[in-house]
Amino acid sequence: MELNRCTVQQPTTAIYRLHMFLHSLIMLALVYYRLSNLFYFENVLTLQAFAWGLITLGEICFIVKWFFGQGTRWRPVVREVFLDNITCQDSQLPALDVMVFTANPKKEPIVDVMNTVISAMALDYPTDKLAVYLADDGGCPLTLYAMEEACSFAKLWLPFCRKYGIKTRCPKAFFSPLGEDDRVLKNDDFVAEMKEIKLKYEEFQQNVNLAGESGKIKGDVVPDRASFIKVINDRKMENKKSADDITKMPLLVYVSRERRFNSRHHFKGGSANALLRVSGIMSNAPYLLVLDCDFFCHDPTSARKAMCFHLDPKLSPSLAYVQFPQVFYNVSKSDIYDVKIRQAYKTIWHGMDGIQGPVLSGTGYFLKRKALYTSPGLKDEYLISPEKHFGSSRKFIASLEENNGYVKQEKLITEDIIEEAETLSTCAYEDGTRWGEEIGYTYNCHLESTFTGYLLHCKGWTSTYLYPERPSFLGCAPVDMQGFSSQLTKWVAALTQAGLSHLNPITYGMKSRIKTIQCLCYAYLMYFSLYSWGMVLHASVPSISLLLGIQVYPEVYDPWFAVYVLAFISTILENMSESIPEGGSVKTWWMEYRALMMMGVSAIWLGGVKAIVEKIIGTQGEKLYLSDKAIDKEKLKKYEKGKFDFQGIGILAVPLITFSALNLVGFMVGANQVILTMKFEALLGQLLVSSFFVFVVITVVIDVLSFLKDS
């Protein structure tokens, strides 16, 4: 019996390929037109030749970006799983270690972090096969206290969920509209227990909040500290107390690695590698579930769904990870910022899944531990000189030498193991090893998960993508311009830095074991800032040319003008074909398109510039700003009403306002010239480009100016 099924999307794939062929002919024609006419200028140093060259460069940026993106449209697939076909008993399922990451309680509300931890503990998976680790990279005493309180509450919450078959196992979500289906059509006993559980949950929240507000327990980040590890709940000790499956609890461990001012800590990548080593000598499960602290488990069967791939004998030998989409519970109907990033999770990931697998997306993925140590098909290459690769810990090396690369957990986690784990999480442990290079998560990029996934594909590993009807994981998206823009700038800067490194998909990827079309997909992501350069040139050159009376587009009656019209229509139709069929509408497409144009001349562009500047001056990797995951209620109200919030937008407003004003003035001057001369043939193309840009973003710019005036 099959555990999963992969289906190529038809007729979508056939339509995509036909469009690729037709659109490529149009693009080649445009390149020929631009380059052939460029050589007709008698003096290439004139303003007209310069403007022509710049607009040609802008069009080439669009074309190259489009070419890379066709890899994601070559063979889109969808997958489904069959849980009932898992024939092995629960005792035979592979063990699973859940790794949850947090760094700053000021930006990541502690109660929300604990909700993620509790939802992970409540997964529908054998308790003696499950371990949950919280990596606190802030070393905050309040986080440790909250975790102990969460464990106490979980002893009531887990039996309640198991007894009544609750699907929404994040308590915050359960007591919100998200858990409405789980709260209806139950008996009186359920209602009584639910009320009691709700009181206990509110008590848990109050205890944590009061402890922080009163100053009884410090709630600040401790930037300079020794490593500290505490086992909050030992499942072996728990199982001795109770043989009742309903009341059993998984292993729960708090991990705070060492941080020193004079040592590089490599951000989340360093924290993940430290946790790999710590978990390796404590539970050492062959599979890992990685979660950001603001992404809670929304489907308790997600682990079993992932195992439908990992246990498939046809896929498993080369399968590194199973990726689930990032879905947000607070996305409004209009989604004015496009925070759900539909293009990635509804289009690109499905397309990559049909080749070698989707990108490792930072959260919501089930990863084979061994994939971080070696290549598929190579069993013991990393054990030839283990100290050089993994460090001097004998306990950790022993965990790699057992059957299948994993060691059985001891009866109890002793003080010796905790002491060894604290040594494994010190700053100096990685010195002289291959951690961050050949072993574990890479340190070559701030987007450690994405780049690690890319390197796994380069080694020959594959991945799969599952987009279930019920979201397996739910997170909270930013609801203001500053929050999403800063996050997008950070992503683009990190991806561009990766694209400029020696490990880029063009020179390095093509020589590795990664498939050629998969290389195009990664090139599309790493060089996505090409779009912003094309946007900036098209938002400036045509309008400035109108002011100077320079023509950069063919006349209306020139056959080449029709080619430009076809290119525009083809591009819009391609974009709409990806948005509307995926549960969207014309309005949805318009919001996404407007957001992309806005970000193209602001956040995406600044991210690309930042990466290039840092590459030149050699400062990349020095700083990383954590996104604020605390949601302001007033900002949320504005977002839900479809109103932009520009508070804190800062420098991002400058290019947006500048280009909008430039296009507006250019359009007015050009239109005036057409009216006076009654000749529109030469300038219509530029007028259309300028008016389209103004039409798309003018309402946003008016809001920005109004906000700045009020401020």
For residues 217 and 145, give the distance between their C-alpha atoms in angstroms, rounded to a whole number: 8
Active site residues: 137, 449
Q: Which two tokens stand for residue 595?
A: 């957001």
pLDDT, residue 595, reads 84
CA angle 439, 443, 444 (to 5 degrees): 115
For residue 162, the SS3 value is helix
Backbone torsions φ then ψ of 636, nearest 5 degrees: -65, -40
pLDDT, residue 404, reads 47
From the CB of residue 300, how many other CB atoms can be counted at a distance below 10 Å?
20
pTM of the entire predicted model: 0.93
H-type alpha helices, 39-82:
47-69
pLDDT, residue 648, reads 64
Contact 532, 485 (CB under 8 A): no
pLDDT, residue 479, reads 81
- Say how many residues make up the chain: 711
Nearest to 464 by CA among 317, 361, 321: 321
Token match 């909700």: residue? 115
Contact 544, 663 (CB under 8 A): no
Nearest to 347 by CA among 514, 592, 567, 512: 592
Contact 605, 537 (CB under 8 A): no
Distances (CA, A) of 147 to 144, 153, 282, 283, 568: 5, 10, 18, 19, 54
The helix-helix angle for 516-526 and 481-500 (nearest 10°) equals: 130
H or E stretch covering 502 = none
- pLDDT, tens digit (0-9, with 9 covering 90-100), for 437-483: 999 999 988 899 999 999 999 999 999 999 999 999 999 888 887 78
For residues 680 and 670, give the distance between their C-alpha atoms in angstroms, rounded to a whole number: 9
For residues 504 and 454, give the distance between their C-alpha atoms in angstroms, rounded to a whole number: 10
Q: Extract the residue ranges of the chain whose pLDDT is less than 70.
A: 185, 236-244, 379-383, 402-411, 581-584, 620-625, 646, 648, 679-680, 682, 694, 697-711
CA angle 401, 374, 272 (to 5 degrees): 90
For residue 256, the SS3 value is strand
